[in-house]
Structure 1
């Protein structure tokens, strides 16, 4: 998985890991991190049926909306290993700049790596599943 020159202790989520989700992995995330607030990055959000997938594109007209979580440097490796397994091989973990009310924050997020032509775009950029 990718690494960053300085420890990134933020995670941006936009789908089944959102705070309102009752999914077991969302509950796990809430237990092992702290919700910071809303954020967004330029890109497209796709409806994959049971869950969404995001593509980061700094030149995109649309935005992907979600939430930021933070966790300690001590917890980062263990938490990300669990999330890597959960996200599987449809996604890759990457650091992207996320716009927040306090400016840009570099965050880990999971980006879709499969072809997107078959999936509809969620025009609002917000997952409501």
Structure 2
């Protein structure tokens, strides 16, 4: 399971990256907040006692899609396990956490990103994902 809390919650962007529609369950990560990545238009997941980051848990990803998402998120993030609440039950899921500090950053909003940035970045994100997919396929053993 993968907890997504930022731009990957947008069905159109997630579909562009994966090349298909993924199944997601509403979830929240207790003790975390979604904040602005310093100097970027996308977010970071930051530990914050008393907060709860809302997102989706993707439940039907293939190993190849996890590799693709790892490459898409790049060196700025590392995949780590976080607690998530799904339908009132506590689970563990992977999430992408920053490798740098994002302390004191303001909260980030998917709705604001969708209104202000989505249309400008959707095509380039799709292109980036397509290029990564081809690279990963090329280096996979046959």
- Which of 12, 34, 50 pairs up with 1:61? 50
State the distance in 2 between where 1:91 and 1:101 align.
Answer: 27
- Which of 3, 11, 16 pairs up with 2:7? 16
State the distance in 1 between where 2:36 and 2:23 align.
Answer: 27
Of 43-52 and 103-112, deviating more is 43-52
* 4+ runs deviating over 6 angstroms: none
Can you give the 5+ residue segments of structure 2 that lack an aligned partner in the other structure?
114-142
Query: Within 5 A, what are the aligned runs for 1:33-52?
Result: 33-35=22-24, 37-41=25-29, 42-48=31-37, 49-52=40-43
**How far did residue 30 of structure 1 move?**
7.2
Query: Within 5 A, what are the aligned runs for 1:71-90?
Result: 71=60, 75=62, 77-90=63-76
When normalised by structure 2's length, the TM-score is: 0.65
The answer to whether residue 98 in structure 2 is matched with residue 108 in structure 1 is no
Can you give the 5+ residue segments of structure 1 that lack an aligned partner in the other structure?
1-9
The structure whose residues are more often helix, as a share, is 2
Q: Which residue of 1 aligns with 2:118?
A: none
Number of positions where the alignment pairs a residue of Structure 1 with one of Structure 2: 108
Contact 2:6/2:34 (8 A) holds in 1? no
Q: From the CA coordinates, give the structure whose radius of gyration is larger.
A: 2
RMSD: 2.2
When normalised by structure 1's length, the TM-score is: 0.71
